[in-house]
Amino acid sequence: MAAMNAAALAEENRTLKATLAQREARIERLEFDLAQLKKLLFGARSERLATLPDIDQLPLWDEVPEDAPVASPVAFKTVVVQSPAKNQPKRTALPAHLPREIVVLPLSAQDRQCPACGEERPVIGYESSERLDYVPAQLKVVETRREKCACAKCQGQLTTVPAPPQIIEQGIPLPGLLAHLLMAKYGYHLPLYRIEQIFAHQGVPIARTTLCDWVIQSGWQLQPLVERMLALLKQQPVIFSDDTTVAVQDRGKTRETRFWVYAGHSPPIVVYDHTETRAGKHPKAKLEGYSGYLQADAYAGYDQIFAAGKVLEVACWAHARRKFFEIARQTENGKRISAHEALEYIGRLYAIEREAKEQQLDAEGTRKLRQEQARPILAEFKSWLEDRLRQLAPKTPTAQAIGYALKNWPALERYTEDGRLEIDNNRSERAIRPLTIGRKNWLFLGSPKGGQVAATVFSLIQTCKELDLNPEAYLKDVLTRLPTTKQREIDSLLPHNWKPANV
């Protein structure tokens, strides 16, 4: 009887311990979610861990002993050091291509008179200084007069110079105005109502609906360029992809749609796409026929692309790091936890990438460096992750972060196979950033049709930025030449091949 009671008590004790462990894991998870919500609402977006002040703070990458003292608050003192005059910053010379207006300040007759002998002193030079001024942009009217002639003897024999083709036939905007409009809306993220106000202040009221029509028509005319860019992008060995949400107003209601980005770096090409949903069929259709590496986050929608085996998945270490970082930043007093250790391993991987960049290694040199230095770290890191996962309760934030890394491990370590690959997907994330800035200004797209036009213009502007081209100058020249450019010559208008017509 006593033995049965002891067994029952032992079983009950095990049950209570399991229940307690589950509740502790749930509490940890809820506390983590609450901290994440507070960060989303009030916190900074920087992915840097705060460090403790003064000498008691131990370096992040060093091992911390169990009995290490916690740093006490230290009062910071500001010390102002006077820099030597030779180290003081010098004003950068103003660009030579800017137009210059010379203003001469003459000496008075009294100043020109020599105080010693009274004779008039001649001017021997000038003390010059350059300052920058701004001349507001101006609209101008271009009147085109086409000669026509008629025979005085033969009635009805009239000849006129044909009208030059325009992007918008029978419309009033010339390419310069259209380029400025597209750049203002998609390059500087100004909503059309603000652009309408700017034109009105210049004494030229243009209805917002008219501006919208000009944007739509220009976008459709530029679409063949972006289609050709996508075809060339799919010839590259590596493509980077990401997506983000964007609201669209449709039939009086606002709903969520998606912008996708596909980027390459040889040459730099950035192509955007707008879709109604986030279904995996959209990137699959966009990359139809592609064979190579695709670097993206672990979104399951890309699995349709990887299924055939022609496209190899390359995961993003920035995504994996971010999950550990979110846990590490919630800890107080610099307490060392598993997330900090994971960040140390990932930091060592990024240090190798910095070394390759500093040495300016080519693709083969980068691959060899990764094989020699990164592969051993990855093997050690994976073993550490598996060992630590066995010690954690399921569904805790740290266990989920480790599970994410292990689930995607083959794709995470694939970047070591080819020096043309990158350790993370930050290239496409940088390309997504202009969209996120834009939607804070214009809030939503006016129609689904406007979404694809936006994708087209964003593609050209962002690719120009990657190539250090002036997007507005490029758009003006291309919109001028496009109506007379044959299909077989369209490659000459692509950003990486573009040369201004007057060159």
Cis amide leading into 283 (omega within 30): no
Are 127 and 104 in contact by the 8 Å Cβ rule? The answer is no
Pairing relationship of beta strands 268-275 and 253-265 according to DSSP bridges: antiparallel
Residue 37 phi/psi, 5-degree rounding, is: -65, -40
In the chain, DSSP finds a helix count (H) and a strand count (E) of: 16, 8
Neighbours of 502 (CB within 10 A): 5
Look at residue 78 in the predicted model and tell me its pLDDT: 43
H or E stretch at 220: helix 208-233
Tens of pLDDT, residue by residue, the chain (503 residues): 566 677 777 777 777 766 776 676 667 666 666 665 666 566 555 566 554 333 344 333 333 344 444 444 434 344 444 545 556 667 788 888 889 999 999 988 888 888 888 888 888 888 888 889 988 888 899 999 999 998 877 776 788 998 889 899 888 999 999 999 999 999 999 999 999 999 999 999 999 999 999 999 999 999 999 999 999 999 999 999 999 999 998 877 889 999 999 999 989 999 999 999 999 999 999 999 999 999 998 899 999 999 989 999 999 999 999 999 988 877 654 556 788 899 999 999 999 999 999 999 999 999 999 999 999 999 999 999 999 999 888 888 889 999 999 999 999 999 999 999 999 999 999 999 999 888 888 888 888 888 999 999 999 999 999 999 999 999 999 999 999 999 999 999 999 999 887 65
Sequence-distant contacts of 273-281: CB under 8 A, at least 24 apart: 273/452, 273/455, 274/246, 274/445, 274/448, 274/451, 274/452, 274/454, 274/455, 276/448, 278/243, 280/304, 280/305
H or E stretch at 495: none
State how far the Cα of 419 lies from the Cα of 410, in Å rounded to an integer: 17
Look at residue 36 in the predicted model and tell me its pLDDT: 58
According to DSSP, residue 36 is labeled: H
Look at residue 298 in the predicted model and tell me its pLDDT: 87
